[in-house]
Amino acid sequence: MTDVEMLCAEACRIAHSLYARGKTSGSSANLSFRIGDQVYITAGGSCFETLCPEDYSCLNLQGDLLTGPRPSKEWPLHLSVYAARPQTGAVIHVHSTYSVLWSCVPGLAQEDCVPPNTPYLRMKVGKVNLVNYAKPGSRELFDAFAEQAFRADAWLLRRHGPVVPGETLTQAYYGLEELEESCRIAWELRNAGITLE
C-alpha cells in the first residue's frame, strides 16, 4: 500500500465512525490530509457513511485540482489551515450538533469561545476561536476564516460547525471529538443554570 492509499483508508474509517455515531449527517462533512505539497480532500457531495478511496480530490496548495472528482466546496477552509499552520497533516470539518448549538449562543467571545470546564480541550486541542457567520461557501466566510486561521488551534464557525486540524488524521479526529464533547458540556451546564466557580 502507498502512503496515499493508507491515509485514504484511515480517513474512510474515521469518516464511517463519525457518521455511525451521529457526529455528521448527509453530505455536510469534509476532511483532508496533506502529503508534501498535495492535499487530498473529500469530494463535493460525498457522504461520510459510504466514503471510499474514489471520493478524494487531489489539490495543490494553491487549490488547483490535480486529479479526482470536484472537491468539497469548503476546500478553501482546509487550504487556509495548511497555509497558516505548516505542521498540519489533516483537517476535519463537520456540522456536529453540540458544536453548532454552542456556536449559536449569543455574546460568545471571539477568542477562546468554548469555556474550559474540563482541562482536556486546552490539553488536546488548544485555543478555539469563533469565526463570524457568513454564508457557507462564500468568499466572505473564507476571508474571515483565513484571518482567524493564524490566531487559534481550532475554530467554531458561527451557526455552522467546527474545523479541527491535527498533525495526523487521528489527532484531528480526537481533537474534533474533544471539541464536540466540550461544547456539549458547556451547553448542558448553561441549560442547567450552573456556572463553575
| Radius of gyration from C-alpha coordinates of the chain | 16
- The span from the CA of 42 to the CA of 49, in Å, is 12
46: left (phi over 0), alpha (psi -120 to 50) or beta: beta
What is the DSSP secondary-structure string of 19-79? HHTTS--TT--EEEEEETTEEEEEBTT--TTT--GGGEEEEETT--EEESSPBPTTHHHHH
3 state SS of 91: strand
Q: Which residues are catalytic?
A: 74, 120
